[in-house]
Structure 1
């Protein structure tokens, strides 16, 4: 019978065993993110950044728009759950891609959606790399989106998903209102991308309608600023000349006949298309009392409005938003309502006390300016 002999202890094995025991004993903690990196809320990944989708393109950034659990009932497996991810990728210079994917694993769904977004990149036209060219209105399924370009420094006042899309595509100043289904993020994003595709540059508008695109703003004292001029012959002047003549000729615009209507003025005085940014600098007028904030686009008057571009142009309409988007209609928009405490006795008394100081800042600024001017002339 052989004797049992004791062998040398394998120290490397014992070291690996002790290291594994120590790792398993430590409880894993969730990675804590900075408040600015937590996305829309602290307990979901919506709005968080995933970084660049490809190492060769560091200028791109990916954002999670929606990450949720979906389920389908099957006959064999019962309730089959999966993760659904909606991710957008952009470089902030007019290039954006959207991707959606599903998987039983959350990481796999995010990875697939990010890769698909990088493969679906499209280019969009942006005015001055900061805002839209003109007002946009689109309806996607049960979601209605109404977007207005704003002046520089206004910021993004819109739905949080639209704000994320705007930062990825490069839009910095815009106001947008989403009505209807605002929680269906996929339809909201698709509708907004459709709105961006409908944007036309001022040169394209000038070439299409044969008009000069001129901007009037109050910060320039309503001085006309020519943004684009048509490269082709002015079709609108020929249309109005034929309408003013006794025997008009058969003229078509974009393959459609133009109705004969009485023009407002002589065609030589109406050969421009106006771009007015007055709402950016002045307050909106008080709207009519209504319980609906923005119920699609409503008729401006009770009479039949001209809804085709040819008739509007022949009638003398030259406002860019009216021709491109509204087509004889206006949006029903009202300002933010006053707070509940506005007419309380204490608030009314405080407003009356502060009424005498309403122009105090302007007067102090004017006095400081005159003081500096007096010092300047005295030194000379």
Structure 2
């Protein structure tokens, strides 16, 4: 494990002015030290990369991986049980990743997501109905958009796609919250172990009662490939279920806040939802930054980036949030601008590690913000942004409630 010296290094996560803003330290690092050593929340050393050019290149660099040649000695990121350290087998990571992409590509393809458009829209309309009813029945005419739309929609969609019983949503939501906690002394690893047992049991059920879902497809693929281990299958299922709802929940919440604080852009979307939805969603993806760490990789060989050499085995955190605010890649990057074109953000990564669920997230976001523009044009935050409960102690960040009215 890497240990810090007496050199003073900044420690993640950096303090930020609000949930919609990044720490000013990112801009300083981009300009003066785009590849620099920092302390992780766990107190170990890692290299933080903040400039767009370097982040984009390293996202697809085969010299970086999620595994580590000596996992017990790898730098730790936090006390959470996800994105906390190396994952996978160092000797087989590349082959396992190639297999994973091949298995998941049909289920998460753009064509498949287009076929889900109508169903996602039905779900969105149903949850907006519930939001309206909650507001109408509340004495203060305030409803929690996080509770009634941002959270349940992505959960319902990913449950159906994977083949997870929707009735278990409260259970695995609790497990997700616990295993993503970076607060020392919490039961994050116990929650991860429990999550693994749950997903393993579900996979076993699919062996005798397969359905038209991703987990059934993975179980069938495992039967044809003896190198596809049970641990790999469970890890993949846990990752899909966790990432498939946590990140989209945050983008909906923060997207609502961004439009609430930019009335002209919100009016443009209301006036032409169909024409404005694509650039609006892409700018929400670029600008919003719910987490405060970055994408974790480990150097599989010495990697030279500019004047800096990252030694083999060192942890690397690729700050997508900082890269998406880089003024060498975007004009006026700290301004939320839904007319931005082009918008070559790296919110979903880049290259071979481009997020397999990108089309799914975009499908949900387009439906949500088109529907809100049409059905609740006067939607607004009920209160102040500074009063929102921010999930500072969680890997994925975000907020835990979003009171709105209209």
| Coarse TM-score class (shorter-chain normalised) | under 0.3
- The one of the two structures with greater contact order (alpha-carbon pairs below 8 A, sep at least 6) is 2
Please give the TM-score of this superposition, normalised by the length of structure 1. Answer: 0.23
Choose between structure 1 and 2: higher helix proportion: 2
